[in-house]
Amino acid sequence: MPTDPVLVVHGGAWAIPDDMLDAHLNGVNNAVKAGWNALSKGGSALDAVEEAVVVMEDDETFDAGRGSFLNRDGKVQLDAFIMDGSTLRGGGVGCVERLRNPIRAARKILSESPHVYFVGEGAEGFAAEHGIPLCDNGELIIPREVERLRAFQAHATEQAPNLFAPAISHDTVGAVALDAEGNVAAATSTGGTLNKAPGRLGDSSLIGCGCYADNDSAAASLTGWGEPIMKLVLAKWSADRVLSGNAPEWASQEAMNYLKSRVNGHGGIILLDRRGRFGISHNTPRMAWAFQTKQRADSGIER
């Protein structure tokens, strides 16, 4: 049965400062435009979430693609995942250092590999074999992040900072979509946490944790402090709440309450079902989001 398409995106949940609000709003609005363009041309929900996330990976405002946080060794290591709700196929990459758009490689894995997940050099090799150009890691590093890491590490010698405080940027990006065929999809991409240990994986690229999609329940993408989100497999938990009868608006709020009460975690979520109902929730001071339907479009930092 034909349905009206819906697209929702997020660009991180944390204490986004006033001087960064415009950049975040512009970023999520540009992402929605790209994803909606794919949907309006009859593209799939997978196409829409991929194109939306690519725009945010290319935007240095966010912790994804070029401009991401640097790890302890001063390198960018990226993770991404994409999932198709109609088939439950997924594709993910972890700890890649030479891909400008890891979500492109994740999509190739979903569509052209019997596997679900590739990491490090194996992921980069798969991408190159499938026509995705590799770059030098230095091309992903920007001066702002070099200085941020330097300042953080200098401060860390004086006292142990809380890497996961809500005031520390969690600008992971993501998108969920419903297409005209009634299928949902989700995608999430991140540079991870500032000063993370090399090889650390967060929730974003792990199926059911920071990203999940199932036509029978919902599509979800999360952002925030990865370790608590992983412990709760929160994307799948949230989708299951929809399956059991909760509207996505309520299920998304429940997820954030559960994250806080169970493991003292913080973050944000976007959740969308096949009926076109969606929820946008966070338990951080602010979250960048935007959505588009046939009837209306909106974006914001607080909701």
Compute CA distances 188 → 9, 26, 104, whole Å.
10, 19, 11
Helices (H) and strands (E) in the chain, counts: 8, 12
Q: Active-site residues: which are they? A: 172
Q: Which of 138, 129, 135, 82 is nearest to 110 (CA)?
A: 82
> What does the radius of gyration of the chain's CA atoms come to, in whole angstroms?
17
Look up residue 58 and give its DSSP letter. T
* Alpha carbon distance 3, 36 (integer Å): 14
* Alpha carbon distance 108, 14 (integer Å): 31
* Alpha carbon distance 252, 265 (integer Å): 14
Other beta carbons within 10 Å of 256: 25
Do 211 and 205 meet the contact criterion of CB atoms below 8 Å apart? yes
